[in-house]
Amino acid sequence: MRKIIFYVLLSFIAFSCNITTEEKDPIEEKVKSAMLQNNVPSFSIGVIRNGKIDLLKGFGTKSRIDTTKVNESSIFQIASQSKMFTGIIVNNLILFKIWICDCFFQKN
C-alpha cells in the first residue's frame, strides 16, 4: 500500500511541475528526494508535452542488490497498479473537460 501511495504522489508531482525543455532540474530533484524519503531503489519517468517527449529518464539502480543503473529503457513490473493509474487519468480527463464521456451506464 505504501508503494502505491508513493507512486500516486510521484505522479502528482510530475503532473504538477511546470516542465519545459530548458527546465528539467526541478522535477529531477523532486524525484531523487522522494526516492530517498521512501527508500525506493529505482524509478523511471517520461513526460510528454505538446506531443513531444520532454523528459525521459531513469533514476537509481535496478535493485538494492543489483547496482546496474536504471535508464529510460528499463522495464518495471507494475502488476495491477495500471488499473488505478487508468482510473485517475480518466477521472482527470473528465473532471477538466478534456474528454466528454458520451457513454452511459445502465443497470441490468
**Over the stretch 26-60, which tens digit does the pLDDT of each residue have?**
888 888 899 999 999 998 888 888 889 888 899 99
Whether 106 is in a domain gets the answer: no
Whether 98 is in a domain gets the answer: no
Whether 72 is in a domain gets the answer: yes
- Residue 61's pLDDT band (boundaries 50, 70, 90)? very high
Q: State the average pLDDT for the chain.
A: 78
Q: Which residue has the higher pLDDT, 33 or 10?
A: 33
Whether 86 is in a domain gets the answer: no
pLDDT in the model for residue 41: 92
Domain enclosing residue 35, as ranges? 2-76
The separation between the first and the last C-alpha atoms of the chain, rounded to the nearest angstrom, is 33
Please count the CA atoms within 13 angstroms of the CA of 61 that sit on its side-chain side: 7
Q: Based on the structure, what is the number of domains in the chain?
A: 1
- Is pLDDT at 108 greater than 90 in this prediction? no
pLDDT in the model for residue 107: 62
Whether 59 is in a domain gets the answer: yes
Say if residue 47 is exposed, middle or buried (CB neighbours under 10 Å; 0-12, 13-18, 19+): middle
